Structure 1
């Protein structure tokens, strides 16, 4: 996780925008087979990869999202193009594929995105025949990033392969603006992970920012929104947040969540509760 955070941090240090930073960080995560996005995406019930992603610029609330994407290495790049080059916020399936081709996004064989680990995970899931339990507790590998740049602009990006053994065409929270993430310069930027159906039901990202608008700190807002989701629909997940002054928060109700944050030349990171390390980047 540490080098990935540094990718985004270096983009910001070089004067890049918050949108550039979150796209860059999430692209690296999509390329890492250890995460449930891009080439590490979990498989649907047919043994295929279908991916979702979204990105948002807090400066003007412009946003781009894609869902049910196949045969593309980096869905977050396609979501960025939707934001920058169309009047729409969201493209899906064949429409997204045609747009990708028209904009020079290369396609790759679908099996190139399938890892042996995820083949075994699908086999295990089918054998267990307890999809709801596994869905809520074991499939929380969505990746995301939030950033604030030197102009005080905020952005988020989120990407996922979804949940193991999902129905073809299933879409979770990740590409849904307000659930999988949200960014508004006046409030903050959020990216979420966890049980997608639960996150959708409570509109988790926007709910967290609502609590900020009501005067809560970022940590209090994250805790309140995650607590609400757990009490209302028994959903677990995680949140990363930042505001335009550079304050940040990381909270989760799942068993663990790999995370990292870079600020003022220091890198903070952890996985389990109470497990935080700090190192100097310079």
Structure 2
């Protein structure tokens, strides 16, 4: 059976000065995940690897490169889900963790729970010897400067989601050679968010969902809006009704606009390998590997292709 992996680096008005780095980043992540699939690895391993690659890239708001809350702190969220068993793990508001997606997987595999948050998540990380990373190592110099600008005044969630400000959640979905799907999503949230604010990213059915019977989705965008319409599960609902991955994503994103005026994007893969990367913001960095072809894009309707070469 053919394998597919699709990744995204966030749906927002990605500025020109980081547009190439954003596209290069998602292409690297797609390649990294695809190598695992090509070698017979699982969709779960592939999405974790792809998202770790994005978390380690400071151009994205996840892990290294995370944005700061109102107190100047890093609070990270992540989810990972296996479509075969519906096993899932998530963490929210964790600190000093460079790869929250891997901590989310540890919650899934080493506890009886699905989500751990804040202090409890960090205590769990310490208990299993999960590596800790100093906050300064996770925050770029540019983020410090931007945060200094925004902390001078109070804005609401809608203003925080100004499409020209960074909020580039990352994510991946994959289909492996055994027909299993998986998803993973990770984010640093919105700059200057309230302490303890949690968006859609770690929430099952909102920021991500995976089920072998319908497919896998990872979402990005206005977290509060995505939560209200449970975007990931909504997309899969439409796929269960017979829509293609593209149709399901576009229908659901339009519904989110009509109901709660929310902007965002989603990547989708079905159990047969039908996939899509769709968004209603100005830009979304995305990449996919299917067979020998690496597809990628940034602007609406953009779909570039090149031959995939594993490293």
Pick the TM interval, shorter chain. over 0.9
- What stretches of structure 1 of length at least 5 have no aligned partner? none
- Give the whole-Å Cα distance in 1 for the aligned partners of 2:291 and 2:53: 22
Q: Is the 8 A contact 2:51 2:171 kept in 1?
A: yes
Q: Aligned runs of 1:114-129 on 2, under 5 Å?
A: 114-127=139-152, 129=154
TM-score (norm. length: structure 2): 0.88
Equivalent of 2:131, from 92, 106, 109? Answer: 106
Q: Give CA deviations for 1:162-203 in whole Å, capped at 9, x if unaligned.
A: 001001111100000000000000100000000100100110
Find the counterpart in structure 2 of residue 29 from structure 1.
Answer: 54
Structure 2's unaligned 5+ residue stretches are 1-25
- Give the SS at the match of 1:35: coil
Q: Do residues 76 (structure 1) and 110 (structure 2) align?
A: no
- In structure 1, how many angstroms separate the alpha carbons of the residues matched to 2:247 and 2:271? 17
Q: Say if 2:206 is the partner of 1:153.
A: no
User: What is the match of residue 233 of structure 1?
Assistant: 260
SS in structure 2 of the partner of residue 222 of structure 1: helix
Question: Aligned residue pairs: how many?
Answer: 282
1:136 deviation in Å? Answer: 4.5
Q: Is the 8 A contact 2:84 2:212 kept in 1?
A: yes
Find out whether 1:48 has 2:61 as its counterpart: no
Secondary structure, aligned partner of 2:64: helix
Alignment partner of 1:245 out of 240, 256, 272? 272
* Deviation at residue 133 of structure 1 after TM alignment: 2.3
Deviations along 1:197-217, one digit per CA (max 9) or x if unpaired, are 010011000011111111111
Separation (CA, whole Å) in 2 of partners of 1:244 and 1:215:
13
Distance 1:169 1:140 in 2: 16
Give the whole-Å Cα distance in 2 for the aligned partners of 1:198 and 1:64.
Answer: 22
**What is the RMSD of the two structures over their aligned residues, measured on CA atoms?**
1.1
Kindly indicate whether the alpha-carbon contact (under 8 Å) linking 1:31 and 1:39 is maintained by their aligned counterparts in 2: yes
Q: Check whether the contact 2:28–2:53 (CA below 8 A) recurs between aligned residues.
A: no
Q: Give the Cα–Cα distance (whole angstroms) in 2 for the partners of residues 136 and 188 of structure 1.
A: 31
2-side partners of 1:189 and 1:215: how far apart? 15
1:111-132: CA deviations, max 9, x gaps?
2211111112212323465442
Counterparts of residues 213-224 of structure 1 (less than 5 Å): 213-224=240-251
Deviation at 1:134, TM superposition (A): 3.3
Q: Using the alignment, how far apart are the partners of 2:82 and 2:131 within structure 1?
A: 25
Q: What is the aligned counterpart of 2:210 among 180, 183, 187?
A: 183
Question: Normalized against structure 1, the TM-score is what?
Answer: 0.97
